[in-house]
Amino acid sequence: MIKCLRVDHRLLHGQVAFSWTSALGADCILIANDGVMKDDLKKMAIKMAKPQGVKLVIKGIDDSIKAINSGVTDKYELFVIVQSVKDAYRLVTETKQIHSVVLGGTKATSETRSISKAVNLTEKEIDLVKDLIEKDYEVEIRMVPTEKKILAKDVI
């Protein structure tokens, strides 16, 4: 069962690894990211951030979608982490098991606008979020699980 799909440009780090994994009761973390598959240093850093006793799987976006759709992930309390809104959009729209997205942290650039203290989106990403909301998916903004949930539809 998929417990959460989170967008975080840092992927797996202390805050995500410990507070989110424990709050969700996750026993497996899926890092769905094409770039990490080609970067051994990032892969090693992610493996070091993994909480003890939690399985870690790193797959590209296409392989993540295939794995979720095949049912092989159903036996886990799965926490899925992606780096971008675009990747989250693909996972949500190309699977049937994901019903909400948590926007946790996205980098500020010259092309983004801030919609919360840690979430910065381009116009294209805002359009993707709006499309998910229109399709009745919940999109929330939350850095840590103890924070109050802010619905993206209320700030976009």
Kindly list the domain boundaries of the chain, sorted by start residue: 2-154
- Whether the predicted pLDDT of 79 surpasses 90: yes
Report H helices in 40-106.
40-49, 61-70, 85-93
Q: Can you give the pLDDT at residue 13?
A: 87
Range 2-154 classified under CATH 3.40.35.10: yes
Running DSSP on this structure, what letter comes out for residue 100? Answer: E
Tens digit of each residue's pLDDT (9 = 90 or more) over 102-134? 999 999 999 999 999 999 999 999 999 999 999
Pairing of strands 100-105, 138-141: parallel
Q: Can you give the pLDDT at residue 51?
A: 93
Give me the sheet containing 138-141, strands edge to edge: 55-59, 28-32, 78-82, 2-8, 100-105, 138-141, 150-151
Residue 58 to residue 72: CA distance in whole angstroms:
14
% residues pLDDT > 70 (the chain): 100
Q: What is the token pair recorded at 20?
A: 């989110």
Check: pTM over 0.85? Answer yes or no: yes
